[in-house]
Amino acid sequence: MPTTNLDETARQILAAASRRFLHYGYKKTTMSEIADDCNMSSGNLYRYFPSKLDIAEMFVRVLRGEQVANLRTVLDAPGRTPAQKVRDFFLLKFKLAYERFHDNAKAFELSSALILERPKVALEWENAEGRVLGEILAEGNADGSFAIDDVPAITKILQNAAYRFTSPAVFHETDEEVLAAELNGVIDLVLDGFAWRSAHRDHGKAAAAGSRS
C-alpha cells in the first residue's frame, strides 16, 4: 500500500498503532489492541495490514516521506552555498534523529525490530535521503566549489561518516550540544577536503593552460 494512497481508515490505524508502539512498545502491542483502539474487529484490521510488522513498516515509510521533505528544504534554501547546505543537511538530520530517538527506548525498539525484520526499509530510507544529499553535492560541482568525481560514492561515504549522529544509534549517545560539536568537527574535515580538491583542480587547470601558452 503506497503511502500516498492511504485512506482515512488506514491513517486511523497508523495513528492508533504509533501511539501504542511509542508508549507501550512495539513488542508489547498486539493487533487486537490496535483494532480495539480503532473500534473495529481484528478481521477488519487484517484486511488493511496483514501483520503488526506491516503496520510498523508503513508508519516508518510515512515518517521517511516527512523527513525527506524536511531535508529538501535545505536543498531548496535560497542564498546558501553548497558547502553551507552540506552542513545544514547533516545538522538537520542530527536534530531530527536526536529528537526522535535519544532516551526514547520505545522508538529505538521499533526501529531495531524493523531493521532486523525488514532491512530493505532502512535501505530505502538511506537511499531517499542520499538522493537529496547527492543533489547538493552535484550543485557544488556545478558552481565549482566541489570537485567530486563520483557523487553517488561520496554521498554514501558521507552518510556512513555521519551515521553515529544521524541514526537510531543516538539513543545511546550523550548530550546534544556535545554531539553537535563533534558532528560539526566531522563536517569541517569533509568541507576542508572538498575545498582542497577544488583548489588543486583549479591549480592543475591553470598550470595546464600556462604550459600551452
* Topology adopted by domain 53-212: Tetracycline Repressor; domain 2 (1.10.357)
What ranges do the domains of the chain cover?
53-212
* 213 has a pLDDT exceeding 60: no
Q: What is the pTM of this model?
A: 0.88
Confidence of residue 170 (pLDDT cuts 50, 70, 90): confident
Q: Are 92 and 74 in contact (CB under 8 A)?
A: yes
Q: Are 183 and 91 in contact (CB under 8 A)?
A: yes
> pLDDT tens digit string along 53-76?
999 999 999 999 999 999 999 999
| Residue in the structure block whose three cell numbers are 498486539 | 30
Residue 155: name the closest of 80, 97, 71 by CA.
Answer: 71
Q: Which residues of 119-153 are buried (b: 16+ CB within 10 A; e: fewer)?
A: eebbeebbeebbebbbbbbebbeeeebbbbeebee
pLDDT, position 211: 55
Q: How far is Cα of residue 147 from the mean position of the Cα atoms in its chain? A: 25
d(CA 40, CA 143) in angstroms, rounded, equals 56
Average pLDDT over residues 38-63: 96
One-letter identity of residue 118: R
Q: Residues for the chain: how many in total?
A: 213
Confidence of residue 85 (pLDDT cuts 50, 70, 90): very high
